[in-house]
Structure 1
Amino acid sequence: MLQHYFQGTSALALDGKGRMTVPTRHREMLDALSKGELTLTRHPTGCLRMYPRPIWETFREKLIALPMSADGWKRIFLGSAMDVSIDGAGRVLISPELRSASGLVRDVLLMGLGSYFELWDPIRYAAQDAEVVAQPMPDALANAVL
């Protein structure tokens, strides 16, 4: 399988129809990896996750195999999943339901996190970021980076 690593943050804006332009620096890899086919879904942190379709399909199979005790989490991930395609202008449409669930109105932060992306409302992200940095760094991470 093609090596794929997405990283970095892009400050973007949704247009009046809820479309977001995928930065050029990610489009070539997304085209090679998934022919521009993506899946958007909710995440419990309040953001959206955007997966290249093959990555989503692997994650989806793991979700489907979970026991009934995980049905609530299945609803969050599978129940809100929407397949989208990058259009000829390099945009993806974010449904009104997903925009509402994640608080996306106009400004969006697109963050590459390895094999997938997160989409954040900047205000929600700032609050989440403050929570994270207020906690001590986990030992596993501290040992890996220091």
Structure 2
Amino acid sequence: MSFLIGEYDCKLDAKGRMMIPADLKRQLPGVETEGLVILRGFEKQLTIYTKVEWENTVNELNKLNQYDKINRDFLRFFIRGAMSISVDSVGRTLLPKALLDYAGIKGEVILSCQLNKIEVWEPGAYDTLMNSMPDNFAEMAEQVMGSAGRRGNE
């Protein structure tokens, strides 16, 4: 799979259905037959994975030592509320009400592609997050990317 790119503003209908933007849908071949997986995110947003990416994630999670309490607790919180969602022929998907409530989502969302997944945000929460970019973003990049970031400057 190639990586997902883009940021999209979407509206939910009265039933909680969201139309997947055409540009994003083109990046998700076979989504109507395979469906998607949605779950709670780390920052009160929702996260959507393709089935293939979800299987990759589950394979990594399955490597955790489940005799270790912190691993068991992490798994419980991470997969809590995870659900398969389908996409109809016109590109709509129903977002589960319990997950919408968790993320404080009412009628509008922002979809933010994050490499192999899509984050679903309540617009105000997303704007707050994006407006809090650190002054030292270059230093953050160096710290996060480590030697990978330094190689590009040699």
Q: Which residue of 2 aligns with 1:37?
A: 35
| 2:83 maps to 1:82 | yes
**Equivalent residues in 2 for 1:22-61 (5 A)?**
22-32=20-30, 35-61=33-59
Q: Which residue in 2 is equivalent to 1:65?
A: 63
SS at match of 1:30: coil
Q: 1:78 to 1:103 in 2, by over 3 A?
A: same
Shift of 1:63: 1.7
Q: Distance in 2 between matches of 1:135 and 1:117?
A: 26
Rounded to whole Å, the distance in 1 between the matches of 2:44 and 2:50 is 20
Q: Please state whether the residue corresponding to 1:51 is helix, strand or coil.
A: strand
Distance in 1 (alpha carbons) for counterparts of 2:8 and 2:71 = 33
- What's the offset of the Cα at 1:34? 7.7
- With normalisation by structure 2, the TM-score equals 0.81
* Cα pair 1:27 1:36 within 8 Å, conserved: no
Long gaps (5+) in structure 1: none
TM-score, length of structure 1 as denominator length = 0.85
Structure having the higher Rg: 2
Structure 1 position 56, deviation (Å): 0.5
Task: Give distance in 1, aligned partners of 2:81 and 2:63.
Answer: 18
Aligned residues: 143
Amino acid at match of 1:121: E
Supply the distance in 2 between the matched residues of 1:76 and 1:33 (Cα, whole angstroms). Answer: 26
Q: CA deviation at 1:126?
A: 1.6
What is aligned with 1:109?
A: 110
Instruction: Name the CA distance, whole Å, in 2 between partners of 1:71 and 1:44.
Output: 17
User: What are the ranges of 5 or more consecutive residues in structure 2 without an aligned counterpart?
Assistant: none
Given that 2:39 and 2:99 are in contact with CA atoms closer than 8 Å, whether structure 1 keeps it comes out as yes
Structure 1 stretches of 4+ moved >3 Å: 32-36, 140-146
Cα separation, 2, equivalents of 1:135 and 1:39: 35
**Conserved 8 A contact 1:43-1:76:** no
Structure 1 position 20 matched with structure 2 position 21: no
